[in-house]
């Protein structure tokens, strides 16, 4: 059994699916595919410590993602090589790499960004992944997750994972992303509150929830 989690940026996979990754990794192989290093101009300006070069920031993001992956039990983390703008930089070479990954690992489940998310890179990943899945004629389980603060989906989630035992691992993995500490300070309360709110709704301490594609 293999699960692939697609993320626009390093840390999105942990914010959206960290507990689920840790839960699934106990029984199956979990592969994380990250599209962007986030090492463009905006990434450099908002990263810590300040004034890192693009090369330094890229290396730091790879290191942090791999450390987080070890904590969660990820089998392998693969970067597709985008520096900043996914919609503009995702060329045919990167598309073929993505297709090859899907053919090689033949996942039973895939998780990727919702098209209702507010970040343009997240929307781009939704579109790219859906096209790639159609190209390889993927017909197994597909789930989407949202990073933005407010859940814009209507109706009940397609699947819910009880991550009560895994939640401490999710937080520990998030703390690996020290280069993104500025954004994590603002996001952490929302991440915790969303997990608690849905956990309470379904009679659990913490949950992660996912919708159909």
Q: Which residue did the predictor score with more confidence, 165 or 151?
A: 165
Task: Write down all domains in the chain, each with its CATH number in brackets.
Answer: 2-210 (3.40.50.10320)
Q: What is the mean pLDDT of residues 125-132?
A: 96
Question: Would you place residue 96 in the very low, low, confident or very high pLDDT band (cuts 50, 70, 90)?
Answer: very high
Q: What is the pLDDT of residue 149?
A: 65
Q: What is the pLDDT of residue 174?
A: 93
Residue 44 has pLDDT above 50, yes or no: no
Residue 17 has pLDDT above 90, yes or no: yes
Q: What is the mean pLDDT of residues 137-150?
A: 89
Q: What is the pLDDT of residue 41?
A: 44
Confidence (pTM):
0.92
The predicted-structure confidence for 50-90, as pLDDT tens digits, reads as follows 667 778 888 999 999 999 999 999 999 999 988 878 988 89
Q: Which residue did the predictor score with more confidence, 186 or 9?
A: 9
The predicted-structure confidence for 168-180, as pLDDT tens digits, reads as follows 999 999 999 988 8
Q: What is the mean pLDDT of residues 188-211?
A: 89
Q: How many CB atoms lie within 10 A of CB 35?
A: 27
Q: What is the pLDDT of residue 47?
A: 65
Percent of the chain with pLDDT over 90: 64
Angstrom CA distances, 156 to 36, 105, 115, 175, 191, stand at 30, 30, 17, 30, 19
Whole-angstrom distance, CA of residue 52 vs CA of residue 43 = 10
Q: What is the pLDDT of residue 13?
A: 96
Whole-angstrom distance, CA of residue 187 vs CA of residue 171 = 12
Of residues 171, 184, 170, 186, the one with CA closest to residue 48: 184
Question: Would you place residue 42 in the very low, low, confident or very high pLDDT band (cuts 50, 70, 90)?
Answer: low
Residue 154 has pLDDT above 80, yes or no: no
């Amino acid at each position: 059994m293999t699960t692939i989690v697609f993320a626009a940026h390093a840390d999105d996979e942990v914010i959206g699916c960290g507990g689920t990754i840790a839960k699934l990794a106990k029984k199956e192989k979990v592969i994380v595919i990250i599209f962007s290093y986030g090492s463009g101009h905006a990434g450099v300006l908002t990263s810590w410590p300040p004034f890192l070069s693009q090369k330094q920031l890229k290396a730091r993001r790879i290191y942090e993602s791999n450390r987080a992956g070890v904590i969660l039990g990820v089998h392998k983390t693969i970067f597709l090589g985008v520096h900043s703008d996914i919609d503009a930089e995702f060329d045919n070479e990167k598309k073929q790499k993505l297709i090859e990954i899907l053919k090689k690992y033949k996942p039973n489940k895939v998780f990727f960004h919702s098209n209702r998310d507010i970040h343009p890179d997240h929307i781009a990943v939704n579109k790219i992944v859906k096209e790639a899945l159609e190209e390889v004629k993927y017909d197994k389980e597909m789930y989407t997750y949202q990073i933005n603060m407010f859940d814009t989906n209507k109706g009940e989630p397609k699947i819910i994972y009880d991550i009560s035992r895994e939640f401490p691992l999710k937080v520990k993995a998030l703390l690996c992303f020290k280069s993104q500490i500025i954004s994590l300070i603002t996001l952490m309360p929302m991440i915790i509150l969303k997990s608690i709110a849905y956990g309470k709704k379904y009679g659990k301490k913490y949950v992660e929830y996912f919708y159909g594609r």
